[in-house]
Chain A
Amino acid sequence: MKDLKSQASKSTTPGKGGLTPEIQSRIGHQLRAMYDDVVRQGVPDRFAELIKKLDAPGATPQVENGGGSNDNNNGRD
């Protein structure tokens, strides 16, 4: 009981959404860290080349469908 009591009194008052500003900013920080890790990798060559290629006059972009996959759609839950 003592533990619970001290824990409860320590917690900051949550906002209306039920989150303390501290937790909100922690989530925001981790979210951006995760995201920016990928952003920092820049533009992979394959995409730079793709766009360059399609830029050539007369080039028609072809949307390929990832065909050949087995679609087992047994409507079971």
Chain B
Amino acid sequence: MPLTDSLRDDILAAVPSLRAFAISLSGNADRADDLVQETLLRALANIDSFQPGSNLPAWLFTILRNLFRSDYRKRRREVEDAEGNYAKTLKTQPSQNAHLEFEEFRTALDKLPQDQREALILVGASGFSYEDAASICGCAVGTIKSRVNRARSKLAALLYVDGAEDFGPDETIRAVIGGSGG
């Protein structure tokens, strides 16, 4: 469809969450903004292929994700020194404690496999349905669900509980206690 005023407004309205998604993916604000810029250029260049009435944010997120993926393959490891860069990008600094917790969370998030991280962000932060997230990532709905679950378990294990991933403390401890008999 042609670029109408209202479509342009809708694209602009999607920019803040596109940035948030890009930063979550790349861990680096500068790179994220480059990604967003490229996404917008692509979107506008291909606006004719956008189906009126379909989900515009999902369409834009798909473009951004694909760009990130191909870019990521090109220059693999820059992503890894992103740790710590993220906090610097924020305009408002949270209080000391909250800040520390935030950094920990961010660091844990960066440790997730990319597939899991993006699934978790799309569903848990961007607010997409499992169906939309699946179409953005080009995979089955069940795949998204299991990625989200694994991502949560891994985060919990990294942040809150030791061994939350398989969560067998009751059995294990009972076995140990029972076995030591006295």
Query: Which of A23, A27, A39 sits near B20, CB closer than 8 Å?
Result: A39
Number of interface residues of A (CB under 8 A): 45
Instruction: Mark out the residues of chain B between 150 and 182 whose CB falls within 8 Å of any chain A CB in the assembled complex.
Output: 152-153, 155-156, 159-161, 164-167, 169-170, 173-174, 176-177, 180
Name B's interface SS.
helix
The docked-state distance in angstroms from the alpha carbon of A1 to that of B181 is: 12
Within the complex, the shortest CB–CB distance from B91 to chain A, in Å, comes to 6
A-B contacts, CB under 8 A, total: 131
Whether B156 and A19, one on each chain, are in contact in the complex, defined by CB atoms closer than 8 angstroms, is yes
* A5-B177, A71-B74 known; A43-B16 Cβ under 8 A: yes
Whether A27 and B40, one on each chain, are in contact in the complex, defined by CB atoms closer than 8 angstroms, is no
Instruction: Mark out the residues of chain A between 34 and 77 whose CB falls within 8 Å of any chain B CB in the assembled complex.
Output: 34-44, 46-48, 50-51, 54-55, 60-64, 66, 69, 71
* A34-B125, A46-B33 known; A41-B11 Cβ under 8 A: no
Whether B164 and A38, one on each chain, are in contact in the complex, defined by CB atoms closer than 8 angstroms, is no
Within the complex, the shortest CB–CB distance from A19 to chain B, in Å, comes to 6
Whether A46 and B125, one on each chain, are in contact in the complex, defined by CB atoms closer than 8 angstroms, is no
Given A11-B169, A38-B16, 10 other A-B residues pairs in contact with their CB atoms under 8 A: A5-B177, A8-B174, A17-B149, A27-B156, A36-B125, A37-B20, A42-B16, A51-B11, A51-B40, A61-B41
* 21 pairs of residues in contact across A and B, judged by CB atoms under 8 Å: A4-B173, A11-B170, A17-B149, A17-B153, A19-B152, A19-B156, A24-B152, A27-B152, A32-B124, A36-B20, A36-B125, A37-B90, A38-B23, A38-B90, A39-B19, A39-B20, A40-B16, A41-B91, A44-B15, A47-B40, A54-B44
